[in-house]
Amino acid sequence: MASAQILPITGRPAAGPQPVARLENVSKNYGRVRALQDFNFDVRAGELVAFLGPNGAGKTTAIRLLLGLAMPTTGKVSVFGANPADVTTHMRVGAMLQVGRVPETLRVREHVDLFSSYYPNPLPIAETLAIAGIEDLRDRKFGVLSGGQKQRVLFALAICGNPDVLFLDEPTVGLDVEARHMLWDEIRNLLARGKTVVLTTHYLEEADSLADRIGVINKGSIIAEGTPAQIKSLTAGKKIRCITQLSLDVCKSLPDVVEVHRDRDAVLIHTSQAEEVLRRLLSLDLELSGIEVTSAGLEDAFLALTRDDKV
């Protein structure tokens, strides 16, 4: 894969404590469809890992494997060193899945009461409701809730057992900005309380804002892994926008330039060495004007990472 050249996978740490969850050389086929391929990933205690990728990349498959809802075709998946499908493993795990319909005639507190009973050391129900911010909804039936409220109830079911690790599949999908930020705060609170969190998202901002570590998934493989800062530095780190007489080809030929676009009357240059490129540009074009240098957000990194053709 072309992108693998510029984005070396750092791999798992050579030593250290046992990971909370581990995917080892995992491949997963659904019939003839290959959902995951040679997938390696370790989740360490206390970190928040975001699997970032477009729809259909294999993020949900990875979560389903970690929850024991699916078995790998080849390779090994373990959570706390044990089989993720075991009930004893599930007692330490909270899950939030994308679900078509939740029983609508049960009240919020009844859903939480039932799920709490499955766990050895659940949080008191009032506390679960407080953490998820749904105390006001406790006596409402699930069916009458808004989309955002429903997500929060599903979040409550994930945390009610006071689990050590949480697997959240697209936790903020379909939420408006305000609801999304509220859920982010709740997820950060979990980390502050020593939980380990793995979530999937195709919101770039979400991964950047929440994650200690990002695994970028495309077409069933991890194509990059690192802190948000590392992910950004792996691709062109800066964007230079300027108005210049120089042709695109000349700009492109400069060392360390990754990509060049025309942006209305200006030129947009992606580079990993902004200072050096700027010096050269200024020396080549004395008329150069309107210089702006910005840091490439994760969004740009992401687009570059998952773009298949040329980078």
Residue ranges in contact with another protein by CB under 8 A: 64, 67-71, 87-88, 90-91, 93, 95, 97-103, 105-106, 110, 113-115, 117-124, 127, 130-131, 141, 154, 157, 161-162, 167, 189, 193-194
197 neighbors 212 (Cβ within 8 angstroms)? no
Specify the residue, 48 or 242, whose C-beta has the smaller distance to another protein.
48
Q: Is 61 left (phi over 0), alpha (psi -120 to 50) or beta?
A: alpha
What is the smallest separation between the CB atom of 93 and another protein, expressed in angstroms? 8
Hey, what are 135's tokens?
A: 């105390």
Specify the residue, 102 or 243, whose C-beta has the smaller distance to another protein.
102
What is the smallest separation between the CB atom of 294 and another protein, expressed in angstroms? 38
Gap between the Cα atoms of 121 and 223, Å rounded: 38
What is the smallest separation between the CB atom of 212 and another protein, expressed in angstroms? 19
What is the smallest separation between the CB atom of 138 and another protein, expressed in angstroms? 15
- DSSP annotation string for 46-59: T-EEEEE--TTSSH
279: Cα within 13 Å, side-chain hemisphere: 5
What is the smallest separation between the CB atom of 139 and another protein, expressed in angstroms? 13
What is the smallest separation between the CB atom of 197 and another protein, expressed in angstroms? 15
Specify the residue, 66 or 179, whose C-beta has the smaller distance to another protein.
66
- The edge-to-edge listing of strands for the beta sheet with 289-295 is 257-263, 266-271, 238-243, 289-295
159 neighbors 132 (Cβ within 8 angstroms)? yes
DSSP for residue 248: H
Q: Nearest CA to 201 among 96, 304, 131, 295?
A: 96
- The edge-to-edge listing of strands for the beta sheet with 21-30 is 33-43, 21-30, 74-79
Phi, psi of 249 (to 5 degrees): -65, -40
Specify the residue, 114 or 282, whose C-beta has the smaller distance to another protein.
114
What is the smallest separation between the CB atom of 182 and another protein, expressed in angstroms? 14
Specify the residue, 113 or 256, whose C-beta has the smaller distance to another protein.
113
Specify the residue, 28 or 270, whose C-beta has the smaller distance to another protein.
28
Specify the residue, 110 or 285, whose C-beta has the smaller distance to another protein.
110
